[in-house]
Amino acid sequence: MQQQLKIAIIQSDLVWENPEQNRQNFAEKIKKIKEPVDIIVLPEMFTSGFTMNPEHVSETMDGQTIAWMKEIAIRSNAAVCGSLVISENEHYYNRFVFATPEDDIKYYDKRHTFTLAGENKVYKAGSERVIINYKGWKICSLVCYDLRFPVWARNTDDYDVVMYVANWPKPRINAWDALLKARAIENMSYGIGVNRVGFDNNSYEYPGHSAVYDGLGECITSMKPNAEQIAIVTLEKNHLETIRQKLKFLDDRDAFTLK
């Protein structure tokens, strides 16, 4: 078990529906990470932008992007994660994929598809929450619109990190800031949010506001809005152990069953 976990979050623009160019752009950005890290986090739909045209960009779990993620993980000696469009069993999924240097793949299918954009009509929603165990840390991996649903994210598994990757637009960015901080506070966990920047082909603007919060809701990153940027932050297991032993708020959480 590692007492520290070093995370690199990449806040980036995305090339519309162009997986090859996006892979190339992220490979160049990852090369700029000169210090050892444990996990590299990319945005939601990092190969395409938030598209409702999955037939233009979808891949399988044996496709080029998964192979690329494995290669980057081995080369960087760090897990690489983010979501992309996956085609499987005649359905499309907005799938969060976590690839490790040990050639292990974990994934989570976005539970709350974004009805306002019609995502629910194009992509099949996931049905299972996934807790990823990596280097002694338990990570709850979620995607964008999931952020608005605290019951789905509730810390019933004693996870250490709740992680969101997103294409969250500028008009609702105040909600992103508030909810990401709230998810960290209520779950007494680190909260990681990685959002894209730039404009997509639908003229929606994305301002970034990527951030990492500690278990008390303190922001421990300093990211410039509206700019491509890489931030590296170290998570401390001792921080979580200390606040949970001292405050014990999770002991008073409600029991419930999800349907």
Q: Which residues are catalytic?
A: 44, 110, 144
Report the C-alpha gap between 57 and 220 in whole angstroms: 35
Cα-to-chain-centroid distance, residue 74: 20
Residue among 181, 176, 154 at smallest CA distance from 165: 176
What residues form DSSP beta bridges with 166?
195
Report the C-alpha gap between 113 and 91 in whole angstroms: 14
Residue among 247, 76, 43, 49 at smallest CA distance from 163: 43
Report the C-alpha gap between 96 and 110 in whole angstroms: 7
Q: Measuring CA to CA, how many Å separate 256 from each of 8, 160, 235?
A: 34, 20, 29
Residue among 173, 238, 236 at smallest CA distance from 210: 173
State the sign of the Cα–Cα–Cα–Cα dihedral 191, 161, 145, 199: positive
Both tokens assigned to 216: 């008390």
Greatest alpha-carbon pair distance for the chain in Å reads 51
State the sign of the Cα–Cα–Cα–Cα dihedral 78, 83, 85, 89: positive
Report the C-alpha gap between 180 and 184 in whole angstroms: 7
Q: What are phi and psi of 146, to 5 degrees?
A: -55, -25
